Structure 1
């Protein structure tokens, strides 16, 4: 049955009175999700970022100015669509204007709180957490006051952006929204609001996901050798994550880097744990394409023994195979990650320098 716009608006408005729960879906449940999960969006080219960020008249009139700036700022910083963030804020609490329990203080009947309606447990265990504390959750300090406050719009919106990013946005934005609130009607409603908020009327994928951006990255490589590494690595984008995978059909985080170096004629260690001490350490800000960037992520890891790695492809951007539930291999931002522990340059390892000499002069 096709609903009129007026009736659809009435249904959405009535549904807005429901108490919503932001839940983290268990791995078993996500394993059973249908295979057609996708972004529902459209790719854009390398020069189309301005169009992605344009605001419709509807958004400008509906979203409070403070909230609009926060959606745009943290959408760009974390790497998710600002209009998706804004649509979640609208659907959850009408951008903090709702007078329902749990928005300004306390929790609703399900235990959710704040303008983005986080469960207290997914925020970090309590509503306000000092940033000096160790937190297992999405608690964030957006305004830099030293406290991650679930009721503070800056903190809550930054936390929501991180949660969406962790669960598949921007490419698999429908999956990310499903994790945020486990109902497909919710996903559909948020996407409809997001389309109204964008001047283009669409939910676009940021340009770093576009293959048209590959050629400038390769051309800007500091050497022909690094260009070969980048060419192979970028060609793996879109392939699935597989723990222990070294290709050709699937890779894990260190596996795609190992394979990229191998494609350029170089042998480096296979795993993240052995790649970390292998390369020469590089100061932040001095990293360049071909370097590796490491993160304190995954079981049994620590700042001295990071468990996740990405390949730097340009300043601020890396190619990574993140996890089975995080979507395919893609180019993402490493600057937005809070658990980054450092950079290394495998090309400066003495063993690799010897390999390079042999590549350049096979008679040695």
Structure 2
């Protein structure tokens, strides 16, 4: 039997974990989105494709920050860079409307694709700097999202406007949780990474389709086989007639014994995938014209089963 001090310490740690989980859940309720939420139809029509990719790439730099909040700030500040030459009366500049001194505090390290030296006029530099500013002021792990947005512009009205806009950018579908959430977040962070046949990540020049899915679930602590056919065979299958959930793997081929492609379902009828040579990791409808969809699996279900079996 442990000592009373050890028991008290264990209870304190448990309470801390519970508090962190509750605050993260509250952040999701405030924005209507999990960090890896799928974009709504409104988001897809309102946000230029390049900026949508930037918001989704930058958000994972701050664990717990929904990309929808970055996008909402970009909307409020410059209509997603549609007014790139706008300078505010206070001297804020660029697509995320940074004061130069504030930007300098969050400009490093220079993100992939950013300018060197970084500048608040560059969308890549600006969006990543915005994610860091929010993270430093309460967004990390969803501790205090309201406070972090308030630090961007000291106005409660501004915060309310940003959160309302963020809710409109999130698809009204079940948000991924657990392993599925981590896998989707990892895959989203790879948007724009080149396709590379046999590639398992940027250190090898990019991903192929099954390299992306394997790496995404490895980031969530779930081991998948390397090639698409073996991933399909490994299951577990999504039950017949059940709706797809974010994090499910969707498979394509001529028949179940000849699987040639795999992607990660993200909601709203879309998937993240590495399509083919000459392209990059992208998010697009999973029922692509001419695609031969076969079936879906749910690796996150297997992960949850293992966790339940290991529980005392």
Report the TM range for the smaller structure's normalisation.
0.3 to 0.5
In our comparison, the structure showing a higher alpha carbon Rg is 1
TM-score by length of 2: 0.43
> Counting helix residues as a fraction of each chain, which structure ranks higher?
2
